[in-house]
């Protein structure tokens, strides 16, 4: 296993102490219906109930807490598909730090509004995360500090605290199913879980439309992919051609990665609502979707991370009502 630029268990444990007063220890529920389908116990890690509605607060809070006085004075900036921006805005506001969030036009309005409500300056730039990143780079050149959504050691360590909670709440967990995007969550969770038990299997699930990490893993190096409208909008965006951490960590620590389609994501959202009584965004429902579709073969107690709940409620209403919601056609 290559160890260059890996985040270790010591950094994750330190992050947990640092952010303990900021985050919520989210609960775990057993799903009877999913357990029956899988043939093994299926546990739902309800991280969509985290403050700001997603796991992203863990990494953002850890990164903001480590800023120097000079960096705090200059302010922070980040690019986001929604949840990282909301988390960074929340953490920055709590610390009295100026925050600018740059986003593409593909980000749902509900997420833009949520970030603005937290006092951040939101700038909409282009139709991709890479285009929004150009505005971030300009602000960094002017002196602001960038806190990226995933490829940053403090962010990865913060997300890894979720893995520590899982192995403590589900001591016999065999497989942890993680929504896969830029890799910050899966890298941190995998590092934490495998440090506690090297035999825990880490499975990454993402959508077919614009799966940047899976495409990069197949290519053997970070590559660009076209971003496309998807119900799992939080999983959109590239991994960065100069990726320093999450590509290697995902490559070396993640056991399996799988793609699911839009109909399967919608089925996951519907199941979360009607069977589990949880309002979960598309990205947070991909693990449920994979179990329903029997995408992977569970081998023991499974933990599914429901990573976020910041969904446009009009879209959610349409999906849970059974409508065929195809954002590609609607946004064409």
| Angle of CA points 79, 310, 29, to nearest 5° | 125
Instruction: Please count the other Cβ atoms lying within 10 Å of the Cβ belonging to residue 113.
Output: 10
Taking the C-alpha atoms of residue 153 and residue 332, their distance in angstroms, rounded to an integer, is 37
Beta bridge partners, 173, equal none
Distances (CA, A) of 207 to 53, 65, 76, 227: 20, 33, 30, 11
pLDDT tens for each residue of 272-327: 999 999 999 999 999 999 999 999 999 899 999 999 999 999 999 999 999 999 88
Tokens describing residue 53: 């509605």
Block residue for tokens 């969904």: 311
Tell whether the model's pLDDT for residue 207 goes beyond 90. yes
- Do the domains 9-55+152-330 and 57-146 sit in the same CATH topology, yes or no? yes
pLDDT at 332: 64
Give the residue extent of every domain in the chain.
9-55+152-330, 57-146
- Mean pLDDT over 216-240 rounds to 93
Beta bridge partners, 121, equal 100
Residue 305: closest CA among 274, 275, 268: 268
pLDDT at 139: 97
Residue 164, H or E segment: helix 153-169
Q: What percent of the chain has pLDDT over 70?
A: 98
Tokens describing residue 96: 């009295």
Tell whether the model's pLDDT for residue 81 goes beyond 80. no
pLDDT tens for each residue of 26-75: 999 999 999 999 999 999 999 999 999 999 999 999 999 999 999 999 99
Rounded to the nearest integer, the mean pLDDT of the chain is: 94
Residue 107: closest CA among 131, 91, 90, 124: 124
Classify domain 57-146 at the CATH topology level.
Rossmann fold (3.40.50)
The arrangement of secondary structure in 9-55+152-330, i.e. its CATH architecture, is 3-Layer(aba) Sandwich (3.40)
Taking the C-alpha atoms of residue 310 and residue 117, their distance in angstroms, rounded to an integer, is 14
Tell whether the model's pLDDT for residue 129 goes beyond 80. no
Q: What is the DSSP letter of 300?
A: S
Q: What percent of the chain has pLDDT over 90?
A: 86
pTM: 0.94
Contact predicate 153/183, CB 8 Å: no
pLDDT at 236: 87
Tokens describing residue 196: 């506690």
List of residues 6+ apart from 325 with CB closer than 8 A: 231, 262, 266, 315, 318, 319
Taking the C-alpha atoms of residue 130 and residue 210, their distance in angstroms, rounded to an integer, is 13
């Amino acid at each position: 296993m290559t160890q260059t630029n890996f985040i270790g268990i010591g950094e994750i444990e330190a992050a947990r102490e640092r952010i303990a007063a900021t985050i919520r220890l989210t609960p775990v529920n057993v799903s009877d219906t999913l357990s029956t389908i899988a043939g093994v116990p299926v546990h739902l890690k309800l991280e969509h109930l985290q403050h700001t509605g997603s796991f992203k607060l863990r990494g953002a809070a850890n990164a903001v807490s480590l800023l120097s006085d000079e960096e705090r004075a200059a302010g922070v900036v980040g690019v986001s598909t929604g949840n990282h921006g909301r988390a960074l805005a929340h953490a920055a506001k709590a610390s009295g730090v100026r925050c600018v969030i740059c986003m593409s036009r593909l980000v749902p309005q509900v997420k833009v509004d949520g970030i603005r409500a937290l006092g951040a300056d939101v700038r909409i730039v282009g139709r991709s995360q890479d285009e929004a990143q150009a505005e971030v780079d300009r602000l960094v050149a002017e002196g602001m500090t960038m806190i990226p959504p995933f490829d940053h050691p403090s962010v990865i360590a913060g997300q890894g605290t979720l893995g520590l909670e899982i192995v403590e709440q589900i001591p016999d967990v065999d497989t942890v199913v993680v929504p896969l995007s830029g890799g910050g969550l899966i890298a941190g969770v995998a590092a934490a879980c495998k440090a506690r038990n090297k035999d825990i299997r880490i499975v990454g699930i993402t959508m077919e439309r614009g799966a940047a990490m899976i495409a990069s893993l197949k290519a053997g190096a970070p590559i660009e992919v076209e971003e496309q409208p998807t119900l799992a909008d939080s999983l959109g965006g590239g991994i960065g051609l100069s990726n320093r951490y999450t590509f290697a960590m995902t490559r070396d620590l993640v056991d399996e990665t799988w793609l699911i389609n839009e109909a399967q994501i919608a089925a996951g959202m519907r199941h979360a609502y009607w069977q589990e009584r949880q309002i979960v965004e598309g990205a947070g429902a991909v693990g449920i979707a994979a179990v329903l579709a029997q995408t992977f073969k569970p081998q023991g107690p499974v933990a599914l991370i429901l990573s976020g709940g910041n969904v446009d409620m009009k879209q959610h209403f349409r999906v849970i009502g059974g409508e065929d919601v195809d954002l590609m056609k609607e946004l064409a």
